[in-house]
Amino acid sequence: MEEFIRQFEGKKIAVLKEEVQKELSNVLSLTPLISNDMGEYQKNTAKIDEKYVAPFTIDTSLVAQALTQFEFITFKQQFKQYESFLSFEQKDARYWSPLSLPEVMQEQHQAMAVFYRDKAPLRDSLPFKLRFSRESAWGKMAVIDSIQFQYTLRYPTQVDSLHLGGETTEVAYQGDKITLLAQHDNFIHLKIPNRHNDALVILGFNEEGKPLAIQASTQGQRTPEAQQEALAQIQQFYKEFSRKLQDNSLNDSIALKRYLRRRVPQLKGLRTSDYSHRMLYFRGNVAKVGLYFISKYTEKTTPFTAVRSTQFGEIIHMPTAEGNLFLSAKLDPLFSVDSVRVSVLKERFFYGDNHYYYLDERRQQLIPVEAEELVEFKNGLAVMRKKNTETFRLLNNENQQISALKISRYEALNSQLIAIYDEQNKAYIVNKAGVIRFLPMVKQLNPMRDGMILVQHTDERYGFLDETGRQVIPFKYHVAMDFSGGLAAVKKVGEQRYGYIDKNAKLVLPYRYTRASNFINDLAFVSTNDSLFLISPQGKAKVKAPIQTWGISGLGINRVYQFGEAFYNSRGEQLSKNN
């Protein structure tokens, strides 16, 4: 209450008039929210309309997965208005987000050190936030190479449970009382001491003891009726306060202080309470209420490092309020172009206002490119398709066409090589210097995985190129998968089962598997005629199960294997049914 009064003291009357009028508008706008009738959610629910949730249990099966989910984190960096902005993701994952943890588990990502390219690391006073859903500001403009984090997970390991309902409307816990103030149909109203709120899980059960899903809930320090009364008092206070300021009844600091000291203590809405009121509406009629108080937490921490994936070239683009500023690799300003706001594709080509542009460094201009579609690659090359045409042309990093080939499709193989295909579906690889090499009898090239490029022959056989585009494993497999963990699953011509080869084409695991997958976290899914397995690169079975319904979902370290009713994560650890 004292803090509420102090915000008005020591200010000029003219300033107070404006601030109080603004605050009056704010509190008046709360009326529809506070008076919102939740009665629409209260109803006698038919059995057929009931919805259920899993029973509450102490489940630590997610802990190991949570502590290892940040092993391959990268971040993209860009500059805006002289600030650094980062967005975090998992390396090589198309669609990834951190584990969704239960509310009873609490996590924190604390930045411990930021390592810059051209200045000393920052280790103290790190207020930065790690966000995966959107980019966030990370201080003044500077190229960040990597960031060290400490991940902390706090999770429950001991729970005390109590129940309310029927004739039991009040229970005691650690010297406090928890009261069931109302219970009818799908609705309950609980009065709970504040000190237990953050470590409490509430479940409603039907007559059969099944836990019901929550449809809606509200929480406050007062009942809805008392909350409306308190808001009305505060609104009346601001109306009165504003009127007195306007008619100069409070024209000096003494009169103002006397008025506030007398009037503010009368406002019930500013008084704190030791209790909270929680109203919950379930998807079914409630016969009993379960209260689960988490009485013990365990905390674990693990470090991880995020590495920059953005490759900055000799020129770095930064949008500004005026237009576009171009910087050197050391972030020194070179020149600005204010004609149109653009975003960079990779380094030399840009897009903005529904047009493509090429950055002419010598002339310090953005040159329009006559293109309906343009894709720039990490090796500096680009493919461009003009309007009303179906094929692409190859451009170098000086915006010059370097081949007469009409390209029907293309693929980035790695940071140095791209694959292009002409109208007859003939395959070529192109290096950073723009040198084009024809690959006779090649039908398809896959992007490089684990340092190897999977290639398909026109007769459907498979082989592999190394990272330079040199063929290192001949076309002798009629089925092959990308390399991962140094191994690739293959079927040799004449074989009906899978085996695994290394990068020298040596058969490491024999041809004995009816199904196979690539290795993730040193585990691969395989099957034989009578069993399902998760195996190590040495062929040892970490999990074995009889032939039954199976499935694989998720990407990278988020992969999940299903063997019948059992589920396993990417490390071969069995997951609980809840997860």
The average pLDDT across 514-524 equals 92
User: 272 or 318: which carries more pLDDT confidence?
Assistant: 318
Helix axes 224-246, 13-29, angle to 10 degrees: 150
Residue 67 sits in the same domain as residue 30: no
**What strands lie across the sheet with 560-563, from one edge to the other?**
550-553, 560-563, 566-568, 574-575
Which 3 state secondary structure label does DSSP give 436? strand
Q: How confident is the model at residue 480 (pLDDT cuts 50, 70, 90)?
A: very high
pLDDT at 93: 66
Residue 288 sits in the same domain as residue 170: yes
Q: Which domain holds residue 129?
A: 61-156+300-308
The token pair at 116 is: 């810059």
Separation of first and last alpha carbons in the chain: 46
Domain boundary among 252, 268, 297: 297
Contact indicator for 101, 108 with CB cutoff of 8 Å: no
User: 24 or 474: which carries more pLDDT confidence?
Assistant: 474
Q: How confident is the model at residue 1 (pLDDT cuts 50, 70, 90)?
A: low
Ranges 1-10, 136-145, 232-241, 311-320: which has the least confidence: 1-10
The average pLDDT across 36-57 equals 83
Domain boundary among 259, 284, 308: 308
pLDDT at 8: 78
| pLDDT (tens digit per residue) in 138-168 | 999 999 999 999 999 999 999 999 999 989 9
- Residue whose structure tokens are 């290795």: 519
Question: Is 15 part of any domain?
Answer: yes
- Is the pLDDT at 528 greater than 80? The verdict is yes
pLDDT at 505: 96
- pLDDT above 70 coverage of the chain, percent: 97
Question: Is 382 part of any domain?
Answer: no
Residue 102 sits in the same domain as residue 230: no
Domain boundary among 244, 265, 297: 297
Instruction: Tell me how many domains the chain contains.
Output: 3
Question: Is 109 part of any domain?
Answer: yes
Question: Is 543 part of any domain?
Answer: yes
The average pLDDT across 478-498 equals 95
pLDDT at 94: 62
Question: Is 68 part of any domain?
Answer: yes
Residue 200 sits in the same domain as residue 258: yes
Residue 172 sits in the same domain as residue 37: yes
pLDDT at 579: 56
Question: Is 86 part of any domain?
Answer: yes
Residue 103 sits in the same domain as residue 32: no
Q: How confident is the model at residue 32 (pLDDT cuts 50, 70, 90)?
A: low
Question: Is 550 part of any domain?
Answer: yes
For residue 137, what are the β-bridge partners? Answer: 85
Residue 47 sits in the same domain as residue 73: no
Residue type, 371: A
pLDDT at 33: 57
Question: Is 508 part of any domain?
Answer: no
- Is the pLDDT at 220 greater than 70? The verdict is yes
The average pLDDT across 4-24 equals 80
Residue 86 sits in the same domain as residue 207: no
- Is the pLDDT at 570 greater than 90? The verdict is no
| pLDDT (tens digit per residue) in 95-139 | 677 888 888 899 999 999 999 998 899 887 687 878 787 889 999
The token pair at 481 is: 């998968």
The average pLDDT across 332-353 equals 90
Residue 218 sits in the same domain as residue 139: no
pLDDT at 131: 79
User: 231 or 503: which carries more pLDDT confidence?
Assistant: 503
The average pLDDT across 224-251 equals 83
Residue 68 sits in the same domain as residue 120: yes
User: 146 or 198: which carries more pLDDT confidence?
Assistant: 146
pLDDT at 224: 74
pLDDT at 38: 63
pLDDT at 221: 81
CA distances from 329 to 137, 145, 301 (A): 20, 13, 37
pLDDT at 43: 86
Beta strand 170-173 pairing with 176-184: antiparallel
- Is the pLDDT at 358 greater than 90? The verdict is yes
**Average pLDDT value for the chain:** 90
DSSP conformation class of 514: S
CA distance 468 to 457: 18
Residue 113 sits in the same domain as residue 254: no
Ranges 52-61, 278-287, 455-464: which has the least confidence: 52-61
Residue 114 sits in the same domain as residue 235: no
pLDDT at 492: 93
pLDDT at 91: 78
Ranges 91-100, 319-328, 528-537: which has the least confidence: 91-100
Backbone angles phi, psi at 172, to 5 degrees: -105, 140
pLDDT at 35: 55
Q: 3-state SS of 215-267?
A: EEEEEECCCHHHHHHHHHHHHHHHHHHHHHHHCCCCCCHHHHHHHHHHHHHHC
